[in-house]
Structure 1
Amino acid sequence: MSRRAQLPPPPPPVEIRSWPDREAMLTDRAAVLGELVRAHVAPGRLAMLWLWGSICALGWLLVGTALMTFEESYDVISAGIGVIIAAMGVGCMVPAVVLVVVGLRRDRRIRRLLDAWGGLDRDPARDAALRMPGAGTAWLVMSFVLCAVGLVTCFVVPAAATAERDSYSLVALFMGLGLVAWLVGLIGVVKAFAHRRWVRRVLIGAPAPEPLISVGGGAHR
Structure 2
Amino acid sequence: MTHPDLPPPPPPAPVRAQLDGASVRALRADRVRILRELERRSLGPGRLLLLWAVAAVFAIGWSLVGAALLSFETRDPFSVVYGAVFALLGAGVMIPTGFWFAWCVRRDRAMRRLLRAWAEVDPDPAADAWLRSPGMSLFWALASGAVAAFGFYVSFAAAASARPGDTTYGEVAYLIGFGTILWVTGLLGLGKAGAHHRWAVRAFPPPPPAVTGR
Could you tell me the TM-score, scaled by structure 1's length?
0.83
Q: How many residues align?
A: 204
Q: 1:181: which partner in 2?
A: 182
Cα contact 2:59–2:181 (8 A) shared by 1 = yes
Q: Which moved more, 1:30-39 or 1:11-20?
A: 11-20
C-alpha deviation, 1:94, in angstroms: 1.4
Taking the aligned partners of 1:80 and 1:179, their CA distance within structure 2 comes to 27
C-alpha deviation, 1:129, in angstroms: 3.9
Cα contact 1:70–1:79 (8 A) shared by 2 = yes
Q: 2:211: which partner in 1?
A: none
Q: 1:69: which partner in 2?
A: 71
Deviation above 6 Å: which 4+ runs of structure 1? none
List gaps (5 residues or longer) in structure 1: 208-221
C-alpha deviation, 1:112, in angstroms: 1.7
State the structure with bigger RCO (CA 8 A, min sep 6), 1 or 2.
1
Per-residue CA shift, 1:96-128, capped at 9, x if unaligned?
A: 222112111221221121111101222345424
Root mean square deviation, CA, Å: 2.2
Taking the aligned partners of 1:132 and 1:40, their CA distance within structure 2 comes to 15
Secondary structure, aligned partner of 1:162? coil
Which AA in structure 2 matches 1:47? L
Cα contact 1:157–1:174 (8 A) shared by 2 = yes
Taking the aligned partners of 1:5 and 1:138, their CA distance within structure 2 comes to 28
Q: 1:210: which partner in 2?
A: none
Q: 2:97: which partner in 1?
A: 96
Q: 1:14: which partner in 2?
A: 13
Taking the aligned partners of 2:206 and 2:125, their CA distance within structure 1 comes to 11
Taking the aligned partners of 1:52 and 1:103, their CA distance within structure 2 comes to 9
Per-residue CA shift, 1:157-177, capped at 9, x if unaligned?
A: 212211121111111101110
Q: Which moved more, 1:38-47 or 1:126-135?
A: 126-135
List gaps (5 residues or longer) in structure 2: 209-214
C-alpha deviation, 1:186, in angstroms: 1.1
Q: How does 1:20-59 map to 2 (within 5 A)?
A: 20-21=20-21, 22-59=24-61
Q: 2:81: which partner in 1?
A: 80
Q: Which moved more, 1:32-41 or 1:14-23?
A: 14-23
Which AA in structure 1 matches 2:65? V
% of aligned pairs identical? Answer: 40
Which AA in structure 2 matches 1:41? L
Distance 1:26 1:4, change over 3 A: closer
